[in-house]
Amino acid sequence: MMKKIQELITKDLGWKVLSVVIATALWFMVININQPVDIRNYSRNITLENLEELESYGLTLTDIEQVENTKITVRVKAQRTYLDRLSQNPSAIKASVDLSRLVNCSDGETVTLAVNVSMQNYASSYEILSRSPATIEVKVESLTTKEVPIQVTMDGELEEGVLVSEPTLSAERVYVTGARSAVERVESVSALVSAQTVMSGGSATVPLTACDASGAPVSEVSLSAGSVTVSYSLLETKTIPVRVEITGTPAQGYTVGDISCSPASVQITADADTLNRVHMLQLDVIDVSGMNQSETFRYFLSEYLPEGVLLAEGQEEQIEVSVEILEAEDAELTLQASQVQLINEQDGFSYELQNNPVLHLRGTQEDLEALEQSHLHVTADVSQLSEGEHTVAVSVTLPDGIYLTEESTVSVRVTALLTQETQTE
């Protein structure tokens, strides 16, 4: 059975193929001779003409994107073969509105514009029967520009323990341009950066999106820059001491006691190179002039951090410095002559101390009781002293919190030594 079917198909195969070719050719001849006419509908978006001219007058449309997305149905009559060509290239149909007639409009005015339809190729071979809608309404608004800050938003979460710097942007702000009502809705311009880019400590160029107060995109505006480069640095943590100095003298009868910082050290974060250059946090000098009671000073740490340095997570923002002002007591301390070191002695002379110097001291009772004579460094400068007895000022190094109330002196006898020549005479 199969063999008979095969013979039936293959028998006179050449003649059969020739018959199909002839039939097809005849069909095309009939089509081309008769040229049947048909009608078809085509859908096109609106094209805005002379928008730049309108903008040169400081005007624009309220929602350009919505106008451009308006669908126009164009009904076209032509021979079927031409319609087939048109179906293969629908862009040959153009639906447009001319905005040049709006240059004299005022802000907020609504205008009806006619929709123009044209054929780019073989226009004489087509007949445009209708277009729907034949007109569209547009609202004219003032063209406005304003400067808006760029806000970086991270897409994803950082891995635990990863610390990164604040982002550095190639531009901090961008200009937003568009219809007045659309520009007024823009509160920020967002740059979305992936968490992977942040954790790599590198940089990425990301697109910018205009957003309203709720974070929703505002698509009806244009931006002066379509993207921004965002850079991050990986951070490390370091603990540094807090340092504070005082100047001035408390009120009469008072002295400075302990000076304490709470906390005494702070944790900071920065990139490795910056951390290596930071060794302490120096606060403002405290002037204790005229003070007669203890006082606490508060500082905001961020005001004293070098550029590129941040407080570590969990570090308190404020620091307290307590300056203790204590009522002072006067005391006298008599030194042994042997504790005084003579400096700048001259050759050919001998020096002898004639009395024990007395130090007139002021400080807190606790500090005065803790003062140990053996730890004091006492000197007397005998330079330029001639033979005879002289009164010389005593210089003494005292611990913090104790000071001299008056100058202390010591009597020094200077004797010229006999030379060998003098002894011979």
Q: What are 240's strand-pairing partners?
A: 266
pLDDT at 421: 53
pLDDT at 10: 63
Residue 87 banded pLDDT, cuts 50, 70, 90: confident
The domain locations on the chain are: 34-133, 143-231, 237-327, 330-419
**Beta strands in 213-357, from DSSP E residues, in sequence order:** 222-223, 227-231, 236-243, 246-247, 254-262, 265-270, 281-282, 286-287, 295-300, 310-311, 318-327, 329-334, 340-343, 349-353
Which has the higher per-residue pLDDT, 2 or 62? 62
User: What is the rounded distance in angstroms from the CA atom of residue 140 to the CA atom of residue 297?
Assistant: 61
Q: What is the mean pLDDT of the chain?
A: 86
Assigned CATH class of 237-327: mainly beta
Computed over its alpha carbons, how large is the radius of gyration of the chain?
48
Percent of the chain's residues with pLDDT above 70: 90
Average pLDDT in the 288-310 region?
Answer: 91
* Closest-CA residue to 223 (of 199, 207, 239): 207
Domain spanning 143-231: which superfamily? Answer: YbbR-like domain (2.170.120.40)
Three-state SS at 418:
coil
Topology of the domain covering 34-133? RNA Polymerase Alpha Subunit; Chain A, domain 2 (2.170.120)
Task: Please check the confidence at residue 18 and state whether its pLDDT lies above 80.
Answer: no
Three-state SS at 306:
coil
Residue with tokens 């606790």: 366
- Residue 317: phi and psi, rounded to 5, are -75, -30
* Closest-CA residue to 56 (of 99, 1, 15): 99
Strands 409-416 and 388-397 come out as antiparallel
pLDDT digits (tens, 9 = 90+) for 219-262: 889 999 999 998 887 788 899 999 999 999 888 778 888 899 99
Q: What are 39's strand-pairing partners?
A: 77
Show the CA angle centred on residue 265, arms to residues 165 and 326, nearest 5°: 145
* DSSP code per residue over 139-158: EEEEEEEEEEEEEEEEES-P
CA 382 to chain centre: 63
pLDDT at 96: 94
Three-state SS at 330:
strand
Three-state SS at 382:
coil
Q: How many residues make up the chain in this entry? A: 425
Q: What is the CATH number of domain 330-419?
A: 2.170.120.30
pLDDT digits (tens, 9 = 90+) for 148-188: 999 988 888 877 777 777 788 999 999 999 999 999 999 99
